[in-house]
Amino acid sequence: MQRYAVSSCGVFGGGIALAPDFADSGRAFVYYSYSSGSEPANRVVAARFDGNTWRETAVLVDAIPGHRLYNGGRIAIGPDDHLYVTTGWTENYERPQDLQSLAGKVLRLTLAGGVPEDNPFQGSFVYSYGHRNPQGLAWNGEGELFVAEHGQAALDEINLIAPGANYGWPIISGDETQEGMQPPFVHSGGDTWAPSGIAFAGNELLVTALQGRGLYVLDRQDRTLQPVVSLGERVRHVLPVDDDLLLITTNRSPRGQGPSKDRLVRLSAQN
């Protein structure tokens, strides 16, 4: 495992996936929350940056059930050039298991907002279901998709995603099993990581943790998370850049009040 030194760089925000041709086209995809009547909701939109201003150009998915806390919301373009979106359970025990609901799911759509023909459920954006509050998406070099999500009270999870699979929430969690449901690849047991953004650096899956207040790496053989660095801050996301890592912090919980002193942190590899 690589060793890193820390330096502070400023503040950064997230919730966006840049198109592969962003440098030329300015295209991007954004997940955001809004009010729909008296209920919160979420949508996925296409947007364009002209060098000065962002402009929303199309709504790709709308009326995703929302909540003050449990919205999921990570979006990323996969190696198949489709857009993947995580959605939260909205504190509704029926929605994650309901294939007619977009809540508690990993969604998969084309960059134009269509349903891919090879999605597991015909005519549906749903790619996997039975999720609680998934907050991280990452693919390894073999094309395997991993998702990090928050448990109810501890029992946070790292899941290896298969199309059409049911990851059990709220029926099973931790070491519980039931026919037709996938157990987590790794879970935190009685500890709480509150995992957020994840990314592969080479073959290593890096996991940021809000409650764990640092950066971790998945030991795939032992199926454990091992600490890389502790910042003493709520770490939201990680981005490998060459031999360095960029981390962003979110130091105020959404349950808290007042400003949040957040940082963009660079971890430099040490030989």
Instruction: Report the CATH superfamily, name and number, of domain 14-240.
Output: TolB, C-terminal domain (2.120.10.30)
The residues pairing with 240 across neighbouring beta strands, listed in sequence order, are 245
- This prediction has a pTM of 0.92
Distances (CA, A) of 70 to 22, 87, 89, 97, 134: 30, 8, 6, 16, 9
Cis preceding linkage at 116, omega within 30: no
Spatial distance between the Cα atoms of 172 and 165, rounded to a whole number of angstroms? 14
Domain boundaries, the chain: 14-240
pLDDT in tens, the chain (271 residues): 555 554 443 333 238 999 999 999 999 999 999 987 778 999 999 999 999 999 999 999 999 999 988 999 999 999 999 999 999 999 999 999 999 999 999 999 999 999 999 999 999 999 999 999 999 999 999 999 999 999 998 999 999 999 999 999 999 999 999 999 999 999 999 999 999 999 999 999 999 999 999 999 999 999 999 999 999 999 999 999 999 999 999 887 776 676 778 899 999 977 6
CB 72 within 8 A of CB 130: no
Segments in 72-220 forming alpha helices (H)? none
**Rg (Cα) of the chain, in Å, rounded?**
18
